[in-house]
């Protein structure tokens, strides 16, 4: 079975650029999450979709972060404009009805 | 809301010794409990999912204990080996609630 697929694995951006991260959840899962992981803050929830509907937009991350889910098998996270403090690992995860979370391999973002 | 405290943040043990990581949580309605393992540069891999009704759960080389009275979840690696060196995260969620709360993580190093 295919797990959660994230692309790209690494992304380097200049300050002020727009970047788009991609995620394909596990087939049949109806929940999709975007998290940001840093050593200092740990795992922070950015967005949560249930059956393609945005349920949580991450509060403090609303300003420059926008997640979309155009269909049940694909989601994007856009950061616009990027800032150096956005450097982190961005993890996508999916589950079926809020049970076990399965994580993708993540995208390591570096903003110069 | 739910708060999860994970201890210790760093742990170093010799090969063959046991290693114990503990998480305490605050919400008595918490129902699902998870342990994830994250190797360097990799994503979070599910070690075990625990339901609130099960106090002792055994995996390959480890035991997970849930003490609902004290609201404490622990991961006990019975005979650690170098391949166990990784970061470990606990997570807690309510029934059908998407709000998974993660511990800050424990960086385990097993010395050969």
Residue A76 burial (10 A CB sphere; 0-12, 13-18, 19+): middle
B78-106 confidence digits (pLDDT tens): 999 999 999 999 999 876 567 789 999 99
A47-57 confidence digits (pLDDT tens): 999 999 998 88
A18-31 confidence digits (pLDDT tens): 999 999 999 999 99
What is the spatial distance between Cα B51 and Cα B43, in angstroms, rounded to a whole number?
A: 23
Mark yes or no for CB contact B89/A43 under 8 Å.
Answer: yes
Residue A98 burial (10 A CB sphere; 0-12, 13-18, 19+): buried
What is the spatial distance between Cα B6 and Cα B4, in angstroms, rounded to a whole number?
A: 6
Q: Are B64 and B50 in contact (CB under 8 A)?
A: yes
Higher pLDDT, B55 or A65: A65
- A-chain residues near B96 (CB < 8 A): 97-98
Percent of chain A exceeding pLDDT 90 equals 77
- A-chain residues near B97 (CB < 8 A): 98
- Tokens representing residue B48 in the block: 């075990």
A98, A104, A105, A107: best mutation site toward chain B, by most B Cβ within 10 Å? A98
What is the spatial distance between Cα B3 and Cα B26, in angstroms, rounded to a whole number?
A: 6
Mark yes or no for CB contact A56/B98 under 8 Å.
Answer: yes
Q: How many CB pairs under 8 A join A and B?
A: 42
* Candidates B32, B44, B103; nearest CB to A103: B44
């Amino acid at each position: 079975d295919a797990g959660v697929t994230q692309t790209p694995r690494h992304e380097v951006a200049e300050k002020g650029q727009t970047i788009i991260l991609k995620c394909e959840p596990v087939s049949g899962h109806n929940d999709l999450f975007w998290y940001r992981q840093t050593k200092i803050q740990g795992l922070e929830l950015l967005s949560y979709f249930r059956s393609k509907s945005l349920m949580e937009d991450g509060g403090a991350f609303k300003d420059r972060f926008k997640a979309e889910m155009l269909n049940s098998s694909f989601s994007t996270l856009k950061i616009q404009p990027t800032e150096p403090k956005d450097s982190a690992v961005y993890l996508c995860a999916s589950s079926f009805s809020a049970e076990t979370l399965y994580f993708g391999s993540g995208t390591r973002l570096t903003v110069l | 809301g739910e708060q999860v405290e994970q201890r210790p943040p760093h742990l170093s043990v010799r090969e063959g010794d046991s290693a114990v990581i503990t998480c305490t949580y605050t919400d008595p309605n918490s129902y699902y409990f998870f342990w994830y393992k994250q190797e360097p540069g990799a994503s979070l891999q599910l070690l075990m999912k625990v339901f609130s009704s099960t106090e002792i759960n055994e995996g390959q080389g480890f035991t997970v204990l849930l003490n609902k009275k004290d609201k404490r979840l622990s991961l006990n690696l019975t005979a650690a080996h170098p391949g166990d060196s990784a970061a470990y995260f606990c997570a807690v969620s309510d029934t059908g609630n998407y709000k998974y709360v993660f511990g800050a993580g424990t960086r385990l190093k097993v010395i050969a």
